[in-house]
Structure 1
């Protein structure tokens, strides 16, 4: 597969990307929100397995995103082309998002489905939407990694049937259709007949609206239309009259998604997205230009702009300053303090010293903030497997935070 553009990206000169700023931020927020907001209601029942039976009790004890502080998630909308051949469909919508739980920021890339990629032995040169049909979400994740240099940690795929059912269950969506849309494809079972003006779209109408492609700019205009519809869908899903329908809506969504995200991941994502302000969201469309190659219309990714594009979109987030930490081994187990120190350093913390505690009888670990205003103690607690957290001013302390390692923490760290 082609060249990668990973974390270490060289930038010869700083140029500001043409981000879709405020409008783009709203679009990507609602694109994510429309997929996740209904699932957020699982916190009322599914999380405990009492509403739909799909929740897992283990989710209660597992930290969201497996403890990752930055999660990369691929959102896929599958068309119904596979229904004709009894196989998987193509990706009709592709969003790649990065969620930073520490900075409370979300960045997203909208990827044209006609983007040209090389899948090598999996299918050779083809459009990226074919990756889903040829190898499912896993192969699509590999294609995204080849294209951007970043491997998605998670994926969430939904299909057209689920889309239509969800729109119908929320009572349809009111939307201004910007032009007359007429298109018939008997082979693809796609029939679009919409008139310009204010319309109330049911599931079938909505599917036609978001899939209509006969525009001068092709996929670009279609993606703008999809984002416009997702805004309206998110608004409709949150209306008071839809609250009694949530259990049925949730069942419909769950029946038509495929994901490796846990229930807690989805709740965390929905909560974060719901609280975001415009300045915390960045969104852009993959830099690409249309080109005909061998009689096939592709979008060709701009490999020269890609490194800077990825750097600015996914890695320019301002990280909070992390407190310094001293680790004191109170477990009595040789090397226990160093193992915990290594785990903290792997998360970017500055561990200034590792020493023995005042005794080796600590059964559980303790975390102490040594000055007022120190932040991030909860995250340190997750890393060292401790819920014993306190703030106690200690001007003579050698670090902002003191971690006393107990026997429970050493076992947890040793298992990793």
Structure 2
């Protein structure tokens, strides 16, 4: 019959075995993540990457309600020192309610640009980078953002291929090929990085930029859903490695990891989407030297935006 001392020794041995196994698991996971990250950096080894030097520091402030607002700026630099922002979105993360909100701002909105003449919204970035774009959004829409993240579209396909080597499923609503570098057929499709980027950028139909913005939002949601799958989580370190040269932000590495970790651990939350201008709250206009613009019904659009982000 076992004595109390013998039972205690067995418990101690079992405890030690558990600790050793746990440490081995942690070390193995760290080694795997490190290897995946290195593989991602190799995918982008020849990338020139983003290297903008902006005159003004980004002066966004944290919101009073504890929600994190990030200005997502998509550019197609093609080696140019200056480029207009092709995509502008406000992404809001609410950690308490596990909720993500995404606001797309159409690039042709006619706005007041502080210190410059009135022009299209996407011109603000061209004139003086993220800080002027932040000021322009705050001046016209009454919304401030805490962080910005500049993403080069030329890297998008590498990032998707790192996250989802077998592609990401998208319901393609129509045949698409004009000016996107790929040919897509209607129906449920599994798209690689190049094809997914083409889908997100297509606008050669009656919907024009409005359809393009809607597809961009769909793509972000599809990528987010895949990132939260088991295979997506496994490939996340590789994605981070592949994306590094193509992302420029005022967020520290610890801030990026903290937000990403919170989203992953919470299950990612649903994405609520809004596009500005609203469907029936704008008109088409044109100005000499500016071209075609969107003239907003400012009270209607700003009321909807404030209510959406509150």
State whether TM-score is above 0.5: yes
Judge conservation of contact 2:88–2:107 (CA < 8 Å) in 1.
yes
- The equivalent residue for 2:120 is 127
Q: Measure the CA separation in 2 of the matches of 1:300 and 1:147.
A: 12
1:94 partnered with 2:91 = no
Q: Measure the CA separation in 2 of the matches of 1:243 and 1:106.
A: 19
Judge conservation of contact 2:147–2:251 (CA < 8 Å) in 1.
yes
Q: Measure the CA separation in 1 of the matches of 2:249 and 2:131.
A: 11
Q: Give deviations 1:151-194, integer Å, cap 9, x for gaps.
A: 2121111111221111122213232321111213xxxxx53432
- The equivalent residue for 1:215 is 205
Q: Measure the CA separation in 2 of the matches of 1:239 and 1:282.
A: 20
- The equivalent residue for 2:226 is 236
Q: Measure the CA separation in 2 of the matches of 1:131 and 1:222.
A: 21
Judge conservation of contact 1:87–1:133 (CA < 8 Å) in 2.
no
Among 229, 252, 271, the alignment partner of 1:262 is 252
Change in 2 beyond 3 A, CA 1:153/1:239? closer
- 3-state SS, counterpart of residue 86 of structure 2: strand
- The equivalent residue for 2:67 is 70
- The equivalent residue for 1:166 is 159
RMSD: 3.3
Judge conservation of contact 1:192–1:212 (CA < 8 Å) in 2.
no
- The equivalent residue for 1:250 is 240
**Corresponding residue pairs, total:** 248
- 3-state SS, counterpart of residue 138 of structure 1: helix
1:145 partnered with 2:142 = no
1:224 partnered with 2:214 = yes
Judge conservation of contact 1:118–1:125 (CA < 8 Å) in 2.
yes
- Of Structure 1 and Structure 2, the greater helix share is in 2
Alignment of structure 1 residues 4-403 onto 2, 5 Å: 69-78=66-75, 80=76, 82-83=77-78, 86-101=80-95, 105-122=99-116, 124-169=117-162, 170-171=164-165, 172-184=167-179, 190-242=180-232, 245-274=235-264, 275=266, 277-278=269-270, 282-288=272-278, 289-294=282-287, 296-315=291-310
Judge conservation of contact 1:290–1:297 (CA < 8 Å) in 2.
no
Judge conservation of contact 1:116–1:125 (CA < 8 Å) in 2.
yes
Q: Measure the CA separation in 2 of the matches of 1:116 and 1:125.
A: 7
Q: Measure the CA separation in 2 of the matches of 1:249 and 1:235.
A: 15
Q: Measure the CA separation in 1 of the matches of 2:274 and 2:160.
A: 26
**Normalized against structure 2, the TM-score is what?**
0.68
Q: Measure the CA separation in 1 of the matches of 2:93 and 2:234.
A: 30
Change in 2 beyond 3 A, CA 1:132/1:232? same
Q: Measure the CA separation in 2 of the matches of 1:303 and 1:66.
A: 22
Greater relative CO (CA pairs within 8 A, separation 6+): 2
Q: Measure the CA separation in 2 of the matches of 1:105 and 1:241.
A: 23
Consecutive unaligned residues in structure 1, runs of 5 or more: 1-42, 53-64, 185-189, 316-416
Question: Which is greater in Rg?
Answer: 1
Q: Give deviations 1:84-140, integer Å, cap 9, x for gaps.
A: 6x2233222221134445565554422112212232544x33221222222111121
Q: Measure the CA separation in 2 of the matches of 1:159 and 1:116.
A: 24
Change in 2 beyond 3 A, CA 1:238/1:75? same
